[in-house]
Structure 1
């Protein structure tokens, strides 16, 4: 069936190009040095793929670097219709400074269809079980979109496993999305996506290649089912948090700012003094001229902001300012 040129189809085609193109890039051989075409500042570290039996599911993952490193690993969680390999632009920019773990969530990538609905709580429990399987006592986590909400659930449900969190275009509740985004997802159909790069990427990677309609149904169910955590649960997360979104994102500004404040942002001391003397509890970044999908094109900018956050460095002052 041809890909129809409706507004929804145009949106889905744009979404689809992200995992499809990144999947093609990820399929290229990795090298210890930056490969031809690798963006400046990125380091393609060979991935060590594996599969672990967690919570009754054979979960596929990859480890980039040495988990025995003194630096806390960074667990990177992908968005809907994507895979761990589709996060390659971000992965390659962090492997120079820390080990990175990626995984393919239920229904996605090489994990494929495992039956039943997909929920943020279940995906968070899967991620925690994988860390235990890999003998990782604690990891920092970066999650994009669906992965961002999973990262929040992971920090709430398994605070002993998670250090810092980077919530990249993700929400802590369903009402954190613009209603128009949720309405568009509710109208999405497998037929409209037939022949799209999204479907092709799924069929190329998934062990259940005919189950793409089930994934569409699962994502629609996920994005129409109310979820969320109380303010008290969000405040109780022990690690520090960084929130990043685009200025034309599907996530609302109000939601991002509320999360920023709940996580300790908005301290008046540096506001009044004009400078910081220690690393803040929470950081907020809004990328200019950037949509929800466009966020994934800003890997270099994101890595430049996130690395000092993960390293817990104090924001610098201009030289000789005083």
Structure 2
């Protein structure tokens, strides 16, 4: 299987986003379920594993570190700092974006301990803290490289302009942002900036948070703490319009000879050779299905029809709430 490059690393074309084991989509599964998925991913040849200090307020890194420690030499391990859980005076853990150098150093030390490793292969700035120049945050991350605690640096949810500022301070190996048929923001400028600078693009939520798997038909069944409840395109009125896209999409998947989830991933793999999708799942069968996308060949004419069917003009609702949009630096399309 041809590998894809992320900085100095060669990885299987599809990685594993580990967030789902501990964070974001309602009640997390039992830890042993996450363990089964991690070990199955290793068995299937996955080499890129992506976690973060924020996920489960450290719990995700703890699971990933415990399970993958015996296999550390076989994998590329990615984590993120600059956004983590902080315990308030009331004892409640809350998400805090903090890009100050001292916070990044502390986040990294905590991650190294939880991951049970001496070095993190790919360390991202999870969010750019707009109160701190990105050059300061990346400078602190560069010192982690000098100290041997991190091998390569990444950025998450940033614009092309911010990528260029950061890359001038220290080489950036990867940029991670949501990208799928229904979230096209990276096409505005970030993908081209990555190509120009030799940076890998890591696509999270590549199957549109289950929409492109044809796995979510009734959003009213989502748990109260499921983050999709805060996302406009999952609001019932928007989602009802988006569901109208699925019949045509499933017909294209049948034409391609694959499942809807595999079509979404294959589309990304065909888009650019420097894109590495990182779908997440808590189900071993879904994992295997996702990885099967590497064998799906799409004809240019079918890709054109896909692009025309699901894109920023045909999808109803924004990907993030107004609050979440204020926290990211990605370029955005004008409101329709």
TM-score, length of structure 1 as denominator length: 0.35
Structure showing the higher helix proportion among its residues: 2
Structure with larger RCO (C-alpha < 8 A, sep 6+): 2
TM-score, length of structure 2 as denominator length: 0.34
